[in-house]
Structure 1
Amino acid sequence: MDKELEEVNKFYNIVIEFIANYSFQILGALIIIIIGIFVSRYVQKFVLRVMINNKIDETLSGFVANFVRFLVVAIMAILALGKLGISIAPFIAALGAISLTAGLALQGSVSNFAAGIVLVLTKPFKIGDTITVHDVYGEVEDIKLSYTSLRNEDGEQITIPNKYMIGDVLVNSFSYRVVEGNVGVAYDSDVEKAISTIKDVVLSQKDVSSENEPIVGVERFNDSSVDIAYRYWAPTKSFFKTQYDVNIKVLKALNSADITIPFPQREIRVLGEDSVSK
């Protein structure tokens, strides 16, 4: 019992001695940390407000503001450790080793973040545009620093790492995509009337872009028909629906205008009738 009381008394003396020797250092370190937290919040809001007022992208502004806040807290933490008399050299060395290891492990992620910053600064597309990259297309739904989200007509969400947005050919057709179609008419049909009929159908479709005039004309001369091609712009969200609606209306309009859509024909002539009769 006396031994236990002696150990408790010894521990108590150590605690009292520690508090007596380091109480002001601990208090000073806590004050530095608290001041750092408040200052970092103020600096973060200030940086964010300045960047937004200068019309810098909101995503990049938030990233920079958060990074500045982290730097302020890190600097105050280093000052607090120095106040306690703790050498920060081992911490800096350890931080460097951790940073190197993390950089190698997250090399792909880092490249995505770097590409995201380039996208935000250069702005090759914006939310609502239709882009095609890596044979994938869709309407831009969200732009993050590490990836970009697209949404296609089927409602599928497509997530593309930003490094592919910078390192590959990117096609931006904004909010529309071009639709191409063709139909063959008979050689004895009024081709100019057929072209005018198809153009009227395309122009009457409400979903077709009014900013880009549809193009209709003779594409080629086939064995059994004159092929008429037509091109117009349809919204990405209703690309196939618009295409199918236009096609059925073109068919009905051509039939109503008595314009023949031929099928492949072959004319066969038999020579040497006398030999055949034998």
Structure 2
Amino acid sequence: MGEQFQSLDQVKASAIDMALRFGPKLIVAVLILGAGYLAARWAGGFTGRLLRRFRLEPPVRALIERVAQVLMFGLFAIMAMQNLGVELFPLIAGLGVAGAGVALALQGVLGNVAAGLVIIFTQPFHVGDYISIASEEGEVLDISLFSTTLGHTDRSKVVIPNRKIVGEILHNCGKIRRLALSVGIAYDSDVSAALQLIDEVLRANPKVLQTPAPVVGVVRLADANISIGINPWVAVPDYEAALNQINQAVLETFRANRIAPSVPQRAVRMLEA
């Protein structure tokens, strides 16, 4: 029993000695980390206010703000570890070895991050642009470090990993799209009148942009009709609605003005046996 009590006394003495030696340092380290958290928030806010003077995409601003926060907090974390007497060089070497292992295990994720940085800083497209890439197309809703999100007119979304975007052929329509419509009229119709009516329809539609000007003209002389191309520009969100409205308006206008649409015809010859 005496030996047990003696062991307990030794443990208690060691604990008290450790608390007296490292307790104040631990408290100071916690205070340093708390101050680092507040300083990191301040650094992020200050960086964000500073970046508002420049024309940067929201993902770029968010990334730079996050980097400023991490750097500021990392500085205070180093100060806290130095206060505790931690040797930084062996720790850095160990983190380097661990980082190499993590990099090998997360090659795909790191590839997305690297590609995301390329997209954010080279800016091949912006939020709100309509792009076509990797057999997918849609309006850019979000650009992050890991992926890019496209939106479709049916409210669905497509999330594309950034490494599937960098290095691919990209078709960027910007924030406007051109409608590719056509209508066929009979050869005995008044072509000039038809073109004038189509121009009036396009001017009356509020979704049709007047700059750049719509392109309307005869695009093909087919066997059974004259094909008129109708190519106005509209904003990306108005694409589907404008497509339906213009088709309906052209049809009703042609009917009201007796512009005859082309009717497919087929000649059948009956041969006697």
Q: TM-score, normalised by structure 2?
A: 0.82
Q: CA RMSD in A?
A: 3.0
Instruction: Provide the residue aligned with 2:170 in structure 1.
Output: 170
2-structure distance, mates of 1:236, 1:46: 35
Identity of aligned residues (%): 29
- Give CA deviations for 1:52-107 in whole Å, capped at 9, x if unaligned: 44454443333233334333444444454444444334422321122112222322
- The 3 A distance-change label for structure 1 pair 214 and 77 is closer
Instruction: Provide the residue aligned with 2:194 in structure 1.
Output: 194
What SS does structure 2 have at the residue aligned with 1:125? coil
Superposed displacement of residue 214, structure 1 = 1.7
Structure with the greater alpha carbon radius of gyration? 1
Superposed displacement of residue 154, structure 1 = 0.9
Structure 2: tracts of 5 or more residues without a match: none
- The 3 A distance-change label for structure 1 pair 89 and 182 is same
2-structure distance, mates of 1:236, 1:47: 32
CA contact (8 A) 1:138 1:236 kept: no
Letter in 2 for 1:173: C
2-structure distance, mates of 1:221, 1:72: 69
Instruction: Provide the residue aligned with 2:151 in structure 1.
Output: 151
CA contact (8 A) 1:220 1:227 kept: yes
1-structure distance, mates of 2:39, 2:256: 76
Structure 1: tracts of 5 or more residues without a match: none
Pairwise mapping of residues 36-185 of structure 1 onto structure 2 (< 5 A)?
36-185=36-185
- Give CA deviations for 1:225-245 in whole Å, capped at 9, x if unaligned: 122221112333342332122
- 249-258 or 67-76, larger mean C-alpha shift: 67-76
- The 3 A distance-change label for structure 1 pair 5 and 103 is same
Superposed displacement of residue 136, structure 1 = 2.5
Letter in 2 for 1:241: A
CA contact (8 A) 1:152 1:236 kept: no
Instruction: Provide the residue aligned with 2:209 in structure 1.
Output: 209
- The 3 A distance-change label for structure 1 pair 39 and 259 is closer
User: Number of matched residues?
Assistant: 273
- Give CA deviations for 1:12-33 in whole Å, capped at 9, x if unaligned: 1212333455556556655654
Q: TM-score, normalised by structure 1?
A: 0.81
